[in-house]
Amino acid sequence: RVAFVTNSLHGSHLNGSGPFVDDHPAPLRIAIVGAGIGGLTAALGLRRNGHQVDLFEQSRFANEVGAAIHLAPNANGILRRWGIFAEEFGAISMDRLVEHSQDGSRLKNIDLAMANKRWQHPWHLVHRVNIHEKLKKLATSDKGGGIPAQLHTSSKVASIDPQNGIITLESGATATADVVIGADGIYSMSRKYIKDARLFSSGKAAFRFLIPREVAEADPVTAPLVKFKNALEIWFGDDRRIVMYPCNDNQLLNFVCIHPDTESHATKSDEWNKKATIEQVLKVYREFDPAVKALISKVDPLTLMVWQLLDMEKLPTWTTGKLVLLGDAAHPFTPHQGQGAGQAMEDAAALTTVLPKGTAPEAISERLKLYEEIRSERAHAIQQYSRLAGKDWENGVPAIDMMAYTNHNFGHDEIDY
């Protein structure tokens, strides 16, 4: 794969206008729509390549929300090669996997020490706000090589002219770029210039919330449930599950409670902060072990949200003219494999590879096609496995062997970007 990319960059793979030599004197002007994890990672990589990057973000990041996310070895490897170590901002390594049935009986207790040795990089659990902050600082700071990216907050992009690389903000202001990256998440507006694809319910919704570990430890009923540190624990019912894992140096426990969509009446919403109540959660998980219900009752109500898990048909392409999609805009992920952020980061690293310093503007359209060619098969395969991992258990067994799948797909750098 590496050889394939390198040869391609020198024209042997590209038809039509190649070969291209990367010695163009001026940096590319790159506009990124959306400063989520994907947009910021792309900004960081592309500024390091010496390009001039502008990020347009609709929000003010004033009330950043979100709970813990996974930084599996594949995503962590990208950060580490760029000198970013997630343990420096509260990430912890996932050292154990414990599975229970809904009545509390233990099904599995796997020490991941061996797996962690086999994996090329640690599997980290990190609060989304911490990694978002870190990427934002690195992309825009004076240090870090190249030209600092400019972040424009409260700057909602209203329309894009993909052929001419022009974006228009809601305010009416416009900007012209050599490349426009649509990194505007699952409800992407950039995507409609490729296809007005339909989002549909995956059949599941999730409550997500945080509980301080010390609160759970202080109660003798719930303390035994949180005795393992650095562990991901799952309680499985037939069609619903509770997933718990720590973040912030083990001080917070992050919960994702996945259940049939119809039960919490989550509605399609572009907000990550749609509030829910503990009564709703307890109703959906009424059949679960009383100790587990006591545990989830300790929720910090300010953190309790409900989130409808959406899916989308595959797009015919990720790029048209000067526009290219990245992350959830290109391939929205259900969260069952913890790969939404990881795949957005792999996209960003691949774009960084195909647009090195010195890229000529005439080469861009073919480079963007090359990016899609590199990324599409893997991103869609992982998207499909995420769907399978979220399926209800049949005859007491999950739809896929999660450990085998994990070792194979996320344990290593699939592509050494």
The SS3 call for residue 51 is coil
Q: Does 337 bind ligand FAD (CB under 6 A)?
A: no
Interface with ligand FAD in residues 356-415 (CB under 6 A): none
Query: Least distance from C-beta 98 to ligand FAD, angstroms?
Result: 20
Select 8 or 343, whichever has its Cβ closest to ligand FAD: 343
Structure tokens at 126: 């990190």
SS3 assignment, position 202: strand
User: Does position 253 bind ligand FAD by CB under 6 A?
Assistant: no
Q: Which is nearer to ligand FAD, 183 or 252 (CB)?
A: 183
Any contact of residue 276 with ligand FAD (CB under 6 A)? no
Total interface residues for ligand FAD by CB under 6 A: 31
392 near 238, Cβ under 8 Å? yes
Residue 182 engages ligand FAD in binding (rule: CB under 6 A)? no
- Residue nearest ligand FAD by beta-carbon distance: 36
Q: Which of 95, 178, 328, 346 is in the footprint of ligand FAD by CB under 6 A?
A: 328
Comparing CB distances to ligand FAD, the nearer of 33 and 281 is: 33
Which range of residues in 62-70, 106-114, 210-218, 401-409 is near ligand FAD by CB under 6 A?
62-70
The per-residue DSSP string of 315-350 comes to PS-SEETTEEE-GGGTS---GGGS-HHHHHHHHHHH
Per the structure block, which two tokens stand in for 330? 């290109």
Q: What is the 3-state secondary structure (H, E, C) of 218-286?
A: CCCCCHHHHCCCCEEEEEECCCCEEEEEEECCCCEEEEEEEEEHHHHCCCCCCCCCCECCHHHHHHHCC
Give me the least distance between CB of 345 and ligand FAD, in Å please: 8
Nearest to 123 by CA among 241, 232, 244, 235: 232
Closer residue to ligand FAD in complex, CB, 35/226: 35
CB of 305 to ligand FAD, least distance (A): 8
Q: Is 311 among the residues that bind ligand FAD (CB under 6 A)?
A: no
Out of 27, 73, 327, 411, the only residue in the binding site for ligand FAD (CB under 6 A) is 327
Q: Candidates 88-96, 142-150, 180-188, 218-226: pick the segment binding ligand FAD (CB under 6 A).
A: 180-188
d(CA 141, CA 23): 26
Q: Does 56 bind ligand FAD (CB under 6 A)?
A: yes
We find the least distance from the C-beta atom of residue 157 to ligand FAD, in angstroms, to be 4
CA dist 279 and 289 (Å) reads: 16
Interaxial angle between packed helices 402-410 and 73-81, expressed in degrees from 0 to 180 and rounded to the nearest 10: 20
* Complex with ligand FAD: residue 21 or 65, whichever CB lies closer: 65
Q: Does 67 bind ligand FAD (CB under 6 A)?
A: yes
| Neighbour order of strands in the sheet with 319-320 | 150-152, 52-56, 29-33, 179-182, 323-325, 319-320
DSSP string for 339-385: -HHHHHHHHHHHHHHHS-TT--GGGHHHHHHHHHHHHHHHHHHHHHH
Region of 209-217, 232-240, 335-343, 364-372 interacting with ligand FAD (CB under 6 A): 335-343
Q: How far is Cα 20 from Cα 367, in angstroms, rounded to an integer? A: 10
Least distance CB 397 / ligand FAD (angstroms)? 25
Stretch that binds ligand FAD, among 106-114, 293-301, 339-347, 370-378 (CB under 6 A): 339-347
Q: Of the candidates 52, 58, 365, 386, which one interacts with ligand FAD according to CB under 6 A?
A: 58
